[in-house]
Amino acid sequence: MSSFLVTGAAGQLGASIVRELLARGAHVTGTDRVPAPPSLSSIPWVERDLASESGNGLAWPDVDTVIHSAGSKRDHPFRAGEAVELLYANVVSTAAALGCSRSVRRLVLISSISVYGATVGEIDESMSGYPVSSYGLSKWLAELVAALWVGADACRELVIIRLSQVYGPMTSPDNAMYRLIGQALESGRLDLLCPATLLRDYIHVEDAARAIVEGALGCPPGTYNVGAGRGLSMGEIAAAITETSGAVLGRFAGDEAAKDRYLSTALFLRATGFVPRIKLRDGIAREVSRLRSEQR
């Protein structure tokens, strides 16, 4: 099996990727701007802030594949003051990872549904849309940097994985799903300011990590969407939250301006056979239980 370097390995997604690789018997090196968490103390670790690096002087010895998960994941409407910070976090860090990857066979770049901008409905990889958030812009530029770098023979293969919204431990409380869970736990009632039929796309972090590893191991080079595989209605999400929290389901306020938004994952399914294992209700039940225990 290939030898892997995972950037952002202390983060929510990066740590899950490392655990998935280790479960498959891979040799893994982690890098992050912080020390290795106790759960990953057994693997080789490089403490570096890629967002402040040019890539010069860095090297990943004996690494065949880089999975680039490092960066900021804050996503909200464009704010000029934060654009520079996100460009460093997501674009400069990508350039640094690439700058020391000339001996690497494959780069797996973790991107986001946010690169599609305001595109709505079922979104496939052929669709284009201008990013409407600082985060989406930074991920889109990171994709361009990686594609140009690979074209200049920095490494031979590039796999870009555009993720839907990832949930699970370490998700920001500002995430829409987690605001709903918080409301249910705090008030015992859940009211939504959207139609029950509105479709969104969530994937549990463990499934996201498994998909990324599948892409790293065997996907043909290219760009792939990874998500739930279908639109998840807000009615489904609300029902899962209320059923597992004991809260009462209140009203849905029909905001007709809200549009469905979810990823088509048919291309990735054909390439890898990947299907998420963690059902929405089970994933939400885990998070409700975890958050409830943290409140005690």
**What mean pLDDT comes out for the span 184-202?**
94
pLDDT at 122: 97
**Contact predicate 165/201, CB 8 Å:** yes
- Fold for 3-166+203-226, please state it: Rossmann fold (3.40.50)
Rounded Cα gap, residues 22 and 35, in angstroms: 19
pLDDT at 92: 77
pLDDT tens figures, 26-67: 999 999 989 999 999 999 998 988 877 655 556 666 788 999
Rounded Cα gap, residues 95 and 92, in angstroms: 5
Look at the block and give the residue holding tokens 């929405």. 280
Domain boundaries, the chain: 3-166+203-226, 169-201+230-261+277-295
| Among candidate residues 67, 62, 37, the one with its CA nearest the CA of residue 214 | 67
pTM to 2 decimal places: 0.92
pLDDT at 208: 98
pLDDT tens figures, 214-229: 999 989 999 999 999 9
Q: Is the predicted pLDDT of residue 69 greater than 70, yes or no?
A: yes
Residue ranges in 88-231 assigned as alpha helix (H): 93-99, 134-151, 176-187, 205-218
Contact partners, residue 77, CB within 8 Å, separation at least 6: 132, 133
pLDDT at 19: 97
pLDDT at 132: 84
pLDDT at 76: 53
Contact partners, residue 294, CB within 8 Å, separation at least 6: none
Q: What is the CA radius of gyration of the chain?
A: 19
Phi and psi of 48, rounded to 5°?
-145, 145
| Among candidate residues 164, 169, 207, 200, the one with its CA nearest the CA of residue 75 | 164
Question: Given this structure, which CATH class describes domain 169-201+230-261+277-295?
Answer: alpha beta
Instruction: List the structure tokens of 39.
Output: 């759960």
Task: Round the average pLDDT of the chain to a whole number and report it.
Answer: 88
Higher pLDDT, 295 or 232: 232
